[in-house]
């Protein structure tokens, strides 16, 4: 890559930034989810909130909100597409590298943004499992 090109985004990144998938617009209370997860990244100041609906052990629906940069938005949009329909354990296996590859690679200094959505999803799944365990006790 030539000098000065480290800020170039792929068409897939641009598409997910400009037209994010599964983004939760408006009032969070209108999306009846089974669990939420929230994380923040002190490196870049981004914050992510993930909402999941689970049916038969699979992520039936997923929504998210963020205060973040274009890379965080695109990464979480991609993650939401990758996670939908997967079992909770399969969703936990989605790595930052999987997200980066799906997007056609983020600029190196923006790779950490692909971790933010995944961490929010991990937190939502953890909360779901904790709620499920407490409901069976």
pLDDT at 122 over 90: yes
Record the pTM.
0.86
Q: Domain segments of the chain: what residues?
A: 11-132
Reference 88, options 110, 111, 55, 49; nearest CA is 55
- pLDDT, one tens digit per residue, over 79-105 is 999 999 999 999 999 998 999 999 999
Confidence of residue 4 (pLDDT cuts 50, 70, 90): very low
Reference 75, options 37, 30, 29, 121; nearest CA is 121
Give the whole-angstrom CA distance, residue 26 versus residue 9.
Answer: 28
* Catalytic site positions: 44, 113
- Given a contact cutoff of 8 angstroms between Cβ atoms, the answer to whether 39 and 116 are in contact is yes
- pLDDT, one tens digit per residue, over 30-54 is 999 999 999 986 666 778 899 999 9
Q: Which helix H or strand E contains 69, and what residues bound it?
A: none
CATH pick for 11-132 out of 3.90.1010.10, 3.30.565.10, 3.40.50.720, 2.60.40.420 = 3.90.1010.10
């Amino acid at each position: 890559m030539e000098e000065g090109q480290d800020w170039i985004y792929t068409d897939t990144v641009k598409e997910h930034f400009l037209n994010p998938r599964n983004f939760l617009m408006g009032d969070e209370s209108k999306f009846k989810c089974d669990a939420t997860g929230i994380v923040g990244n002190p490196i870049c100041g981004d914050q992510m909130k993930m909402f999941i609906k689970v049916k038969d052990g699979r992520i039936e629906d997923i929504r998210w909100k963020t205060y973040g940069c274009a890379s965080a938005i695109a990464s979480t949009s991609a993650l939401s597409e990758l996670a939908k329909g997967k079992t909770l354990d399969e969703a936990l296996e989605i790595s930052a590298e999987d997200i980066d590859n799906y997007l056609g690679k983020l600029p190196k200094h923006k790779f950490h943004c692909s971790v933010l959505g995944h961490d929010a999803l991990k937190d939502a799944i953890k909360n779901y499992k904790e709620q499920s365990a407490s409901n069976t006790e």
